[in-house]
């Protein structure tokens, strides 16, 4: 169990931490404790720059800790781009940004082979890597690109490598995609296909900040100087933290709750007549896997050694909502997926 001073800044850790063999219980607790302190510092650094979006910061960190990708959905000006840039700096990741447009081609993201000629006149093909070869990729306004270009990310997001001209090229580790989507301006956009939506561990909704946060944001961003975040982790630290997340124990009660929740959200396996009539298709097994890892990551981020039912309830919406679709009748009756998921959460425990 973590002590009350688990996040004390006076307790120093080594700059990098890796796991070479399965640790015993004492070593695992020590690793989790050290990782949680480092994550607490990272969350604080991001919070210096991103004001009024603590929930969004936590969900983005949880997605990365769980080894997944996230879709950030919010109106313009809420700090989506700044969030990704700041996360890359704080976590020590090589971050790049791609602005998706209707004329963007798959090769603009993945890279391509070009014909080179050396001093002796010999010609050969050389692979030029695209911006996807990074550790944290921001796919800005991803729904503005054509389905052909959107699908170029599928293999990269799932397999962590891409195939160009019959040759596989591995992506750096870790590799995460944080994509953004504007829910207001939908003219001329291409909705993400279900297969690609399922590759995103979470869909994170950004709301407008409250009064005090917006006032603090106004003062912080219009002065002569602006707050900056310092790096507190490295890519190796992130990989080690992801290993710690997978090593955290999960109680049978939490496992059963995740399985029950995902199955109840499907019209084929639910016992809820409302779900059966209102949901056209529900979450698959990948949703249960995502929820399992995300609850562990949230527990670690909060300084706990194992997840609880509260973690399942807190993460159900961002993990499940984009993996479900309403029937035409349900949409006509103005039903919301959020309401249906909240109804299922009432049966947890």
Q: Is the pLDDT of residue 235 over 80?
A: yes
pTM: 0.84
Q: Which band of pLDDT confidence, cut at 50, 70 and 90, is reported for residue 202?
A: very high
* CA–CA separation, 157 and 141 (whole Å): 17
Q: Which band of pLDDT confidence, cut at 50, 70 and 90, is reported for residue 110?
A: confident
Higher pLDDT: 14 or 224? It is: 224
pLDDT of residue 289: 94
Question: What are the residues whose beta carbons fall under 8 Å from the beta carbon of 326, sequence distance 6 or more?
Answer: 278, 279, 280, 335, 337
Instruction: Quick: pLDDT tens for 57-103.
Output: 999 999 999 999 999 988 777 778 888 889 999 999 999 998 888 88
- C-alpha dist (Å) from residue 323 to 207, 223, 234, 326: 21, 42, 32, 11
Please give the average per-residue pLDDT across 44-53, as a whole number: 87
Crossing angle for the helix pair 80-91 and 235-247, nearest 10 degrees? 90
pLDDT of residue 147: 82
Higher pLDDT: 152 or 279? It is: 279
Show the domains of the chain with their CATH numbers: 17-102+132-247 (3.40.50.300), 249-349 (1.10.8.80)
* CA–CA separation, 287 and 68 (whole Å): 11
Q: Is the pLDDT of residue 290 over 90?
A: yes
Q: Which band of pLDDT confidence, cut at 50, 70 and 90, is reported for residue 188?
A: low
Out of 135-144, 157-166, 305-314, 326-335, pick the least confident: 157-166
Residue 198 near residue 321, CB atoms below 8 Å: no
Mean pLDDT of the chain: 83
pLDDT of residue 88: 92
Please give the average per-residue pLDDT across 219-226, as a whole number: 75
Residue 214 near residue 82, CB atoms below 8 Å: no
* CA–CA separation, 310 and 318 (whole Å): 14
Q: What share of the chain is helix, strand, coil (3-state, %, to 5)?
A: 45, 15, 40
Q: Is the pLDDT of residue 13 over 50?
A: no
Phi, psi of 3 (to 5 degrees): -80, 170
Out of 49-53, 184-188, 299-303, 307-311, pick the least confident: 184-188
Out of 13-17, 83-87, 171-175, 230-234, pick the least confident: 13-17
* CA–CA separation, 141 and 138 (whole Å): 9
In the chain, pLDDT over 70 holds for what percent of residues? 91
């Amino acid at each position: 169990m973590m002590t009350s001073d688990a996040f004390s800044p006076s307790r120093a850790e080594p700059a990098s931490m890796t796991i070479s063999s399965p640790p015993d219980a004492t070593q695992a607790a020590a690793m989790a404790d050290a990782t949680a302190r480092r994550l607490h510092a990272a969350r604080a650094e991001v919070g210096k720059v991103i004001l009024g979006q603590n929930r969004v910061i936590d969900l983005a960190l949880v997605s990365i800790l769980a080894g997944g990708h996230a879709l950030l959905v919010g109106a313009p000006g809420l700090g989506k781009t700044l969030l990704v840039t700041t996360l890359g700096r704080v976590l020590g990741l090589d971050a790049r940004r791609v602005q998706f447009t209707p004329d963007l081609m798959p090769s603009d993201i993945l890279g391509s082979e070009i014909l080179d000629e050396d001093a002796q006149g010999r010609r050969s093909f050389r692979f030029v890597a695209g911006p996807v070869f990074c550790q944290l990729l921001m796919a800005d306004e991803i729904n503005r690109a054509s389905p052909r270009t959107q699908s170029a990310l599928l293999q990269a997001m799932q397999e962590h490598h891409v195939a160009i001209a019959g040759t596989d090229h591995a992506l750096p580790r870790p590799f995460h995609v944080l994509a953004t989507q504007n829910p207001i301006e939908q003219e001329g956009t291409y909705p993400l296909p279900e297969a690609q939506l399922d590759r995103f561990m979470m869909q994170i909704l950004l709301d407008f900040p409250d009064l005090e946060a917006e006032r603090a944001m106004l003062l912080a961003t219009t002065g002569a100087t602006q707050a900056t975040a310092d790096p507190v982790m490295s890519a190796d630290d992130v990989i080690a933290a992801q290993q710690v997340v997978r090593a955290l124990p999960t109680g049978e009660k939490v496992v059963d709750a995740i399985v029950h929740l995902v199955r109840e959200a499907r019209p084929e396996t639910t016992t809820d007549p409302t779900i059966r009539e209102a949901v056209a298709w529900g979450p698959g097994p990948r949703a249960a896997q995502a929820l399992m890892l995300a609850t562990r990551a949230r527990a670690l981020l909060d300084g706990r050694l194992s997840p609880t039912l509260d973690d399942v309830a807190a993460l159900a919406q961002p993990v499940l909502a984009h993996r479900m679709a309403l029937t035409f009748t349900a949409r006509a009756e103005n039903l919301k997926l959020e309401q249906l998921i909240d109804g299922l959460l009432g049966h947890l425990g």
